[in-house]
């Protein structure tokens, strides 16, 4: 049995950062990853980076082959960089599949080779995997893909069905629409973006429909089957045929094959590892970080988990999950839809006396400069305290601007700061002057 100070299972954002930092402090650290194509984690290889690279390349009107080649170039570069940085920190990289055999004992298997490892501190960093709904034929039918597979097609499908109208499904619907595919989104609910401002959600759906994306709401997928070289989808009693199908019905914590049944590590009903305020599991010295612990499934919250665990292990901080502040989000449709804090409906339900204001992008000078007048900014303020409760920014560069709103919320900066702040011109940011001017 090999002994380490720290053992990290999985090459995701929180784990790899923690491994590198602890190794630089002189700790004996090992990181286990079973798939070399995942060196660097989900974000770099199958998540944020490749998908946004695909969207940017598609906007340049490149061919399908050029778009896919660009994605491979970027992900390969970053994957190799992450491997070099990790090894350069002094961390031992072990390739293989990790499985607990006891609370602090992990068996790593690679082919016929087996290695037993123990450590004073173990960090579970195995991420999440695509949720597979119990739809007959879904996983057995050719040309049916999850969010990873749909990024690696060799040819562009003329017709694409997307099962699921959530963030992932919508981003791929927009991407393949830009690439020239005829896209139909099947959503089980009565609306898409149901957690966002209703008017903004309606506007976003309208833009996607104008671009050629078709939506089927209240959709019950009854069966998936092969029909020649195509896929037959039976929805609400009717069958439609597509060249390819993407199922994007959420992601679930990746714990199924970790051998947690051999330990006292408890899980939640959704399979996530149960953790306390410092990401520590029910076994002292074993932590779970990133998507696997049931928190928000974002790279930046995974990095925040790193901060929590690093502070706990080194005694350099007391920051914890309960102290986590605003978490902004962006959906990379066209234009980008970003949000932080409460919607107007949520603020009213929480008992706030609300003042809300909207500013269409069509009223923004930079919108005219960009020749893109789509979208709207909406802000929600507490009338009693003048504090910002939330914002929805739907328009060009919203993924950048939303962070300014998050900082204001976290630091209790009154909305009046924005109405008098000097911004550069002509920019999208300067429109915060006007949307907060009430």
Q: Which positions are annotated as active-site residues?
A: 425
DSSP assigned state of 38? G
> Within 10 A of 51 (CB to CB), how many other CB atoms are there?
20
Q: Which two tokens stand for residue 60?
A: 């340049």
Q: Which two tokens stand for residue 44?
A: 């770099």
Q: Which two tokens stand for residue 328?
A: 């902004």
Beta pairing class for 376-382 and 128-130: unpaired
Angle in degrees, CA 185, 188, 193, rounded to 5: 70
Q: How far apart are CA 296 and CA 65, in angstroms?
A: 33
Q: How far is CA 274 from CA 94, 152, 289, in A?
A: 26, 34, 10
Q: How far apart are CA 88 and CA 81, in angstroms?
A: 10
Beta-bridge partners for 210: none
Collapsing DSSP states into helix, strand and coil, what is residue 173? helix
The residue ranges of DSSP E strands in 67-192, in sequence order, are 92-95, 97-102, 105-110, 113-124, 128-130, 144-145, 159-163, 182-186
Beta pairing class for 128-130 and 144-145: unpaired
């Amino acid at each position: 049995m090999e002994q380490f100070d720290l053992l990290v299972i999985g090459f995701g954002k929180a784990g790899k950062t923690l491994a590198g930092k602890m190794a630089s402090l002189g700790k004996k650290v090992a990181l286990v990853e079973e798939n070399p194509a995942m060196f660097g984690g989900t974000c770099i290889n199958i998540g944020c980076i490749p998908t946004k690279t695909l969207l940017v390349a598609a906007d340049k009107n490149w061919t399908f082959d050029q778009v896919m080649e660009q994605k491979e170039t970027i992900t390969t570069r970053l994957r190799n960089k992450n491997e070099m940085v990790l090894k350069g920190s002094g961390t031992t990289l072990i390739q293989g599949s990790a499985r607990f055999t006891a609370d602090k004992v992990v068996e790593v298997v690679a082919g016929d080779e087996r290695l037993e490892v123990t450590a004073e501190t173990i960090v579970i960093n195995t991420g999440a995997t695509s949720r597979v709904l119990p739809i007959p034929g879904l996983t057995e039918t050719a040309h049916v893909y999850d969010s990873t597979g749909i990024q690696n097609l060799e040819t562009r499908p003329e017709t694409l069905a997307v099962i699921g109208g959530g963030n992932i499904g919508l981003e791929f619907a927009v991407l393949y629409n830009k690439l020239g595919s005829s896209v139909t989104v099947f959503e089980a609910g009565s609306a898409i973006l149901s957690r966002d401002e209703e008017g903004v959600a309606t506007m976003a759906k309208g833009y996607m429909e104008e671009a050629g994306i078709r939506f089927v709401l209240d959709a019950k997928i009854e069966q998936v089957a092969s029909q020649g070289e195509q896929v037959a989808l039976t929805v609400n009693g009717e069958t439609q045929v597509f060249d390819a199908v993407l199922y994007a019905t959420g992601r679930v914590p990746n714990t199924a094959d970790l051998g947690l049944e051999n330990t006292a590590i408890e899980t939640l009903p959704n399979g996530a590892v149960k953790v306390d305020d410092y990401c520590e599991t029910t076994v002292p010295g074993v932590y779970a970080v990133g998507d696997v612990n049931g928190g928000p499934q974002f790279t930046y919250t995974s990095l925040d988990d790193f901060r929590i665990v690093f502070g706990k292990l080194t005694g350099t901080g007391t920051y914890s999950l309960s102290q986590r502040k605003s978490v902004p989000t962006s959906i990379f449709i066209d234009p980008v839809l970003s949000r932080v804090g409460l919607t107007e409906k949520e603020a009213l339900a929480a008992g706030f006396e609300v003042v809300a204001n909207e500013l269409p992008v069509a009223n923004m000078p930079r919108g005219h400069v960009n020749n893109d007048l789509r979208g709207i900014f909406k802000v929600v303020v507490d009338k009693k305290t003048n504090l910002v409760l939330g914002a929805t920014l739907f328009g060009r560069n919203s993924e950048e601007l939303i962070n300014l709103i998050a900082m204001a919320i976290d630091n209790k900066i009154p909305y009046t700061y924005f109405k008098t702040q000097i911004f550069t011109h002509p920019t999208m940011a300067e429109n915060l002057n006007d949307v907060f001017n009430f």
